[in-house]
């Protein structure tokens, strides 16, 4: 049983190194996904209708969040059509909070959403499903090709 | 800065995988069985997720560690039980015996006759030398193994020494 015990020891050592980096050395972007990657992952899941996979990106999941995510996806579809490119862009980062934006490219134009994030147990989580970044109305955030 | 982060993640993945594969034994991803091959592919895909920071290093460690641990436990169990080994890894299938192909086995392994010829040719047995083969099998890895008739075996050094060339 030397093999399995050695494997467990390696797993424990690797977890200790990762934990030390994140909690001891306050690593926010190297051994944990940075804010823009979290926001991008959320929108990838949302725009491909994988709502269950989108939920873990959120810090809080109030009742009815599933319906809210579906509404968001439909709003994006209405604004720019089927999304074929999702790209996260870094924003500001200070202490345990950060912001990031994600540029969506669809068949009828582009849109940009902004996210606020908070650090929970060393990982970044979205505080909301995102707000339109450019302008107060749909005309402002959707730009034609 | 981002390049440094990629390098750190790559280094972390390398060290963790090297440690796990060394600790788990030589057979883990030796592609001895089809499942070894699948495990190697899955581990490779997980490294990709870590490199581009799509998963935290902790989750990567738990995922690759769990897979490697289960695979190691299974290999320990199969090393102790021949029955379990046959159940999980399968058995070698004889496709040629005493120089003749076994039609049922060849069909069962979905091997075309021309593919059988090619497999044996790669092992140094052309079609005209099939009579020299006592048994050819398809191993659990999918690779062929050939056992020749005793009279067709190449001479060993001692035997060669015994047969002195005529003066």
For B72-83, the pLDDT digits (tens) are 888 888 888 888
What's the CATH code of the domain at B114? 3.30.240.20
Å from A144 to nearest chain B CA? Answer: 30
pLDDT score, position B165 = 65
The helix (run of H) or strand (run of E) holding residue B162 is helix B157-162
Contact B23 A17 (CB under 8 A): no
Q: Would B155 be classed as within a structural domain?
A: no
Q: Does residue B92 or residue B31 have the better pLDDT? A: B92
Residue A7 has what pLDDT?
A: 93
Question: Does any domain span residue B34?
Answer: yes
Domain count for chain B, please give it. 2
Angle at B151 between CA B150 and CA B152, to 5 degrees: 90
Q: What is the pLDDT of residues A71-126, one digit of tens each?
A: 888 888 888 888 999 999 999 988 889 999 999 998 888 889 999 999 999 999 99
- Whether residue A115 contacts residue A102, with contact meaning beta carbons closer than 8 Å, is answered with yes
Same domain? B97 vs B123: yes
Residue B123 belongs to some domain of the structure: yes
Residues B79 and B98 in one domain: no
Question: What CATH number belongs to A33-141?
Answer: 3.10.450.50
Instruction: Tell me B155's DSSP state.
Output: P
Does B8 lie in the same domain as B61? yes
> What is the least distance, in Å, from the CA of B60 to any CA of chain A?
9
Domain ranges of chain A: 1-26, 33-141
What pTM value is reported for the model? 0.76
Higher pLDDT, B166 or B122: B122
Residue B46: give the domain boundaries: 2-88
Say what the pLDDT of residue A140 is: 37
Q: Is the pLDDT of residue B115 over 90?
A: no
Q: What do you get for the CA distance between the two ends of chain B, in Å?
A: 78
Residue of A nearest to B2 (CA): A30
Among candidate residues A94, A29, A110, the one with its CA nearest the CA of residue A102: A110
Q: Are A7 and B24 in contact (CB under 8 A)?
A: yes
Contact A103, A133 (CB under 8 A): no
Who among B12, B24, B62 is closest to A7 (CB)? B24
In a domain, B103, yes or no: yes
User: CA-to-CA distance for B35 and B31, rounded, in angstroms?
Assistant: 8
Q: Are B57 and A18 in contact (CB under 8 A)?
A: yes
Predicted confidence at residue B51, as pLDDT, reads: 92
Cβ atoms of residues A46 and A130 within 8 Å: no
Cα separation, A51 vs A49, in Å, equals 5
Report the alpha-carbon distance of residue B16 to residue B61 in Å, rounded: 7
A92 C-beta neighbours (distance < 10 Å), count: 9
Which pLDDT band, with edges at 50, 70 and 90, does B160 fall under? low
Report the distance separating Cα A51 and Cα A66, nearest Å. 7
- Say whether both B65 and B78 belong to one domain: yes
Rounded Cα distance between A118 and A18, Å, is 20
pLDDT in tens, B14-29: 999 999 988 887 665 5
**How many contacts does A have with B, using Cβ atoms within 8 A?**
83
CA distances for A34 relative to A17, A62, A70, A91, A92, angstroms: 18, 24, 25, 10, 11
């Amino acid at each position: 049983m030397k093999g399995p015990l050695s494997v467990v020891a390696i797993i424990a050592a690797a977890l200790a190194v990762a934990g030390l980096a994140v909690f001891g050395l306050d690593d926010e972007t190297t051994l944990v996904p940075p804010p823009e990657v979290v926001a991008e992952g959320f929108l990838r899941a949302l725009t491909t209708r994988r709502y269950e996979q989108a939920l873990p990106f959120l810090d809080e999941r109030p009742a009815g969040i599933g319906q809210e995510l579906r509404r968001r996806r439909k709003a994006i579809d209405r604004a720019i059509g089927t999304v074929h490119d999702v790209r996260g862009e870094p924003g500001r980062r200070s202490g345990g909070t950060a912001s990031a934006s994600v540029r969506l490219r669809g068949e009828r134009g582009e849109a940009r959403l902004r996210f606020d994030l908070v650090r929970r147990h060393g990982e970044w989580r979205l505080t909301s499903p995102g707000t339109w970044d450019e302008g107060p109305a749909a005309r402002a955030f959707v730009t034609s090709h | 800065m981002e390049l440094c982060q990629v390098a750190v993640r790559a280094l972390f993945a390398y060290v963790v995988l090297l440690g796990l594969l060394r600790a788990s034994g030589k057979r883990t991803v030796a592609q001895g069985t089809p499942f070894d091959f699948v495990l190697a592919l899955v581990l490779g895909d997980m490294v990709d997720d870590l490199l581009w920071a799509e998963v935290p290093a902790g989750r990567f460690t738990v995922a690759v560690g769990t897979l490697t641990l289960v695979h190691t436990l299974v290999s320990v169990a199969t090393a102790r039980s021949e029955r379990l080994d046959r159940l999980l890894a399968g058995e070698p299938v004889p496709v040629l015996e005493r120089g003749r192909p076994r039609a049922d086995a060849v069909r069962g392994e979905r091997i075309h006759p021309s593919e059988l010829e090619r497999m044996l040719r790669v092992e140094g047995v052309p079609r005209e030398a099939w009579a020299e083969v006592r048994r050819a099998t398809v191993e659990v890895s999918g690779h062929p193994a050939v056992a020749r008739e005793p009279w067709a075996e190449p001479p060993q050094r001692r035997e060669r020494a015994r047969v002195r060339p005529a003066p």
